[in-house]
Amino acid sequence: MKKLISLTVNGKSYQIATEPNQTLADLLRYELGLFGTKKGCEMGDCGSCTVIMDGKPVNSCLVLAMQANRRSITTIEGLESEKGLHPLQQAFAEKGAIQCGFCSSGMILSAKHLLDKNPKPNEAEIRSAISGNLCRCTGYQKIVEAVKGVRG
């Protein structure tokens, strides 16, 4: 039986009826059309589905949509503004930190959370912050360079 939930996604309020077993990842992708939230392993191991919920990164494949009731969610689509790409998005593109792109949204949101807490992280802190996000293409060095390029 569906239950009505209220949540804010990228600054916009929604009321959505959801099944008890629907994940936040599925709600974002299939109900709201926010396909930047990727579904990889669907077991919380790869980080491709990472979003920011109430200021903290979460694996949206492990969060039930009902758990997002009255929460604030930021997806990769929520980073872009009228001015253009978020500095992290721009840095990832400029530094070649995006290859296949599958991990990019989760990686960028994990990095954003780090930079929001610590605007001048060192390399070890950057690597720790993105350690829950797997990338099979870049070897991580270009990703670390992109995050370094944005830090204050």
pLDDT of 151 > 90? The answer is no
Instruction: Tell me whether strands 3-9 and 72-74 are parallel, antiparallel or unpaired.
Output: parallel
Number of domains comprising the chain = 2
* pLDDT tens digits along 39-61: 999 999 999 999 999 999 999 99
Q: Is residue 49 domain-shared with residue 113, that is, in the same domain?
A: no
Q: Is residue 71 domain-shared with residue 113, that is, in the same domain?
A: no
CA separation for the pair 146, 101 (Å, rounded): 14
Output the domain CATH number for residue 107: 1.10.150.120
Q: Is residue 74 domain-shared with residue 97, that is, in the same domain?
A: no
Choose the final residue of a domain: 78, 112, 127. Answer: 78
CA separation for the pair 49, 2 (Å, rounded): 23
pLDDT score at 99: 86
Q: Is residue 47 domain-shared with residue 96, that is, in the same domain?
A: no
Q: Containing domain of residue 108, as a range? A: 87-150
Output the domain CATH number for residue 24: 3.10.20.30
* pLDDT tens digits along 118-149: 999 999 999 999 999 999 887 799 999 999 99
* pLDDT tens digits along 65-116: 999 999 999 999 999 999 999 999 999 999 999 988 899 999 999 999 999 9
Q: Is residue 144 domain-shared with residue 99, that is, in the same domain?
A: yes
Is residue 105 a contact partner of residue 50, using CB atoms and an 8 Å limit?
yes
Sheet holding 50-53, edge to edge: 12-18, 3-9, 72-74, 50-53, 56-59
pTM: 0.94
Give the residue ranges of DSSP H helices in 28-103: 87-94
Q: Is residue 49 domain-shared with residue 68, that is, in the same domain?
A: yes
